[in-house]
Structure 1
Amino acid sequence: MIYTVTLNPSLDYIVAVDDFKLGYTNRTSSELMLPGGKGTNVSIVLKNLGIDSTALGFVAGFTGDEIVRELEETGINTDFIKMKDGISRINLKLSSIDGTEINGQGPDIPKEQLDKLMERLMLLGEGDILVLAGSIPVTMPSDIYEQIMKKLQDKDVTIIVDATKDLLLNVLKYHPFLIKPNHHELGEIFGVELSEWEDVVPYAKKLQEMGAVNVLVSMGGKGGVLLSEDGKVVATKATVSVVKNSVGAGDSSVAGFIAGWLQKKDFDYAFSMAMATGGASAASDYLATKQEVEESLKRVDLKHIAK
């Protein structure tokens, strides 16, 4: 079974505002309310691709109830821990102003609730896949992903981590099967600017040397690069030229990689599926459908490059 963990899920209020002006009353030209958070996005895209998963994490208040309702209405299994206090966050995303969003904080997570999640995760075992994705509430221990991986290190669980900075670096010694920084996040880790495939490779290799098994670096309009366990370095251009919605594109890449790996156990194909799925979501108003991914996959052109 595949499990996704979203420690700070959200309701994403996605709006377009024509001719947005600061200091004035602006009215939306379109709006959409959807469950959000990186792990939940992975679960949604997996479901779109015909693959079941169980969404784990914490929810609170009426927003938490709505997150669970919408996910279950989509057919996704949920096993969230319901908090007594606070509300799950609402994130405002202005789709008409690329990259502009206001994200909420989310509820406090008491230690006893975190312990319940740990108990749930300890039930995982051989053959299970666990996705740890996204930011964490400010009140949660900053090494939470590291704690989870340490407890699971002898259980033969395949773990995928999509996080930034120390959340990512701290888990590498436990050898996650896949990590997926984007090129900006990778550059931030090492204090450099990365814009081309060849720029990315030596720094992705450093993360691999630090313990990551496979390193997938998404690069927006430049496509992406994969350094795989078998020693290959493969890259591809983006499958779309016009981006409608960048929200969830990286999460879609993670879901695509999982789907491709489960289907063929081949790194080239898993990477192709990752790039096709991420591109399909970027070209869509929401997260990619199976048909959109299949069309996007036809445009993937892999290039094997030297390390």
Structure 2
Amino acid sequence: MIYTVTLNPSIDLFVKLKELKTGMVNDIVSERALPGGKALNVSRILASLRIPTIATGFSGGFQGAFIENWLSKEGINTSFIQMDNPNRTNIKLYEGGKHTTINFPGSLMKSETVDELIYYLSRVREGDTIILGGSVPPMEDPTDNDIYYRLVSVAKANGADFVADVPSEFLINIVKEKPLLVKPNGEDIEEIFDVKIQNIDEYIPYGKKLIELGAKNVIISYGAQGSMFFNKDSIYRTHEIEDGKSIINTVACRDAMIAGFIGTLVRDGDPIESYRVSVASATATARVLDLPSRDAIMDMLPLVDIEKVQ
């Protein structure tokens, strides 16, 4: 079974304006509320690909009920840990071709609630995969900020694989624990290694370094220009896909890449085909406001051209 763990889920409120006039009253053109959260999006994409998951994390208030009801309607199994406070609501503003995100920190998390999630995930076993993604909510006890390390320890102790799409400050230490996949973007690489990347080929030594440190598979994405895939044997890359369609929303593209890769790898065991589905999933996601259908992802697959670099 694949478990997705979203520590800080949200309602994402997408708001379209003709023009944002600061200091003035603004009337919206359209709005839409969607469930948000990195690992939560992974569950939703995997559901589109007809791969079952259990979505867990922290849930509270009407926001939590909204998220859980949405997932249930999509046929996704949920087992969230209930908390006293509500989940957050984030705002995504679209105006004049620009996209502005306003993220709230999330509710304060009690230690007993954190312990409950750790206990719940102690059920994982060899053959299971835990996908960890997103920000860490504020913790009542600052020592609970190590929650990602604790979750990785649970996975390893029980022989389960894990995927870490976590904030860059956690990534290097977690890579040493041999994750099945890490998927930093270009900005993450610059922050982690304190470098400034000038051209795409400069990502290669840092992808190799993440493999050397312990990651089994690495995907580095750099926006519409494409991405690179690294494993212990080879390096591959894809370029921008020209399908004549506009990029509408890039919020969940990273999550779609993880879902496409892990879902295919768990099913078929082929890392190169997994990378192909990963790219198709992310590209199809960029073309819609929410998340793409399975048909949209499959239609994108023939357009993905993978080039071997080394």
Q: Output the TM-score relative to the length of structure 1.
A: 0.95
Aligned partners of 2:305, 2:42: CA distance in 1, in Å? 24
Shift in Å, 1:32: 0.9
Contact 2:9 2:59 in 1 (8 A): yes
1:91-115 deviation per Cα after TM superposition (whole angstroms, max 9, x unaligned): 0011345441111121111111111
Alignment of 1:1-307 (within 5 A): 1-84=1-84, 86-96=85-95, 98-139=98-139, 141-194=144-197, 196-229=199-232, 231-240=233-242, 242-306=246-310
Amino acid at match of 1:256: G
Contact 1:183 1:195 in 2 (8 A): no
Aligned partners of 1:243, 1:24: CA distance in 2, in Å? 29
Q: 1:259 to 1:31 in 2, by over 3 A?
A: same
Give RMSD over aligned pairs.
1.5
Contact 2:182 2:218 in 1 (8 A): yes
Contact 2:155 2:161 in 1 (8 A): no
Aligned partners of 2:61, 2:182: CA distance in 1, in Å? 32
1:101-139 deviation per Cα after TM superposition (whole angstroms, max 9, x unaligned): 111121111111111111111100011111000111122
Unaligned runs of 5+ in 2: none
1:157-184 deviation per Cα after TM superposition (whole angstroms, max 9, x unaligned): 1111111222212212211010001111
Q: 1:258 to 1:98 in 2, by over 3 A?
A: farther
Aligned partners of 2:129, 2:155: CA distance in 1, in Å? 11
Contact 1:238 1:279 in 2 (8 A): no
Aligned partners of 1:260, 1:188: CA distance in 2, in Å? 30
Aligned partners of 1:72, 1:236: CA distance in 2, in Å? 35
Q: 1:138 to 1:260 in 2, by over 3 A?
A: same
- Deviation larger for 152-161 or 265-274: 152-161
Shift in Å, 1:12: 0.5
Q: 1:155 to 1:35 in 2, by over 3 A?
A: same
Amino acid at match of 2:37: G
Contact 2:229 2:275 in 1 (8 A): yes
Contact 2:118 2:150 in 1 (8 A): no
1:223-273 deviation per Cα after TM superposition (whole angstroms, max 9, x unaligned): 1101013x1100001335631101101001100101221332111111111
Contact 1:238 1:275 in 2 (8 A): no
Amino acid at match of 1:62: F
Shift in Å, 1:195: 5.2
4+ residue runs over 4 A deviation: none
Contact 1:160 1:176 in 2 (8 A): yes
Shift in Å, 1:152: 2.5
Contact 1:250 1:278 in 2 (8 A): yes
1:35-92 deviation per Cα after TM superposition (whole angstroms, max 9, x unaligned): 10001100111111111111110011111111111111111111001112x2100000
Amino acid at match of 1:224: S
Unaligned runs of 5+ in 1: none
Task: Report the secondary structure of 1:234's partner residue.
Answer: strand
Task: Report the secondary structure of 1:176's partner residue.
Answer: coil
Task: Report the secondary structure of 1:276's partner residue.
Answer: helix
Contact 1:46 1:256 in 2 (8 A): yes
Aligned partners of 2:50, 2:268: CA distance in 1, in Å? 15
Task: Report the secondary structure of 2:251's partner residue.
Answer: coil
Amino acid at match of 1:235: R
Q: Output the TM-score relative to the length of structure 2.
A: 0.94
Amino acid at match of 1:215: V
Aligned partners of 1:91, 1:195: CA distance in 2, in Å? 32
Contact 1:163 1:180 in 2 (8 A): no
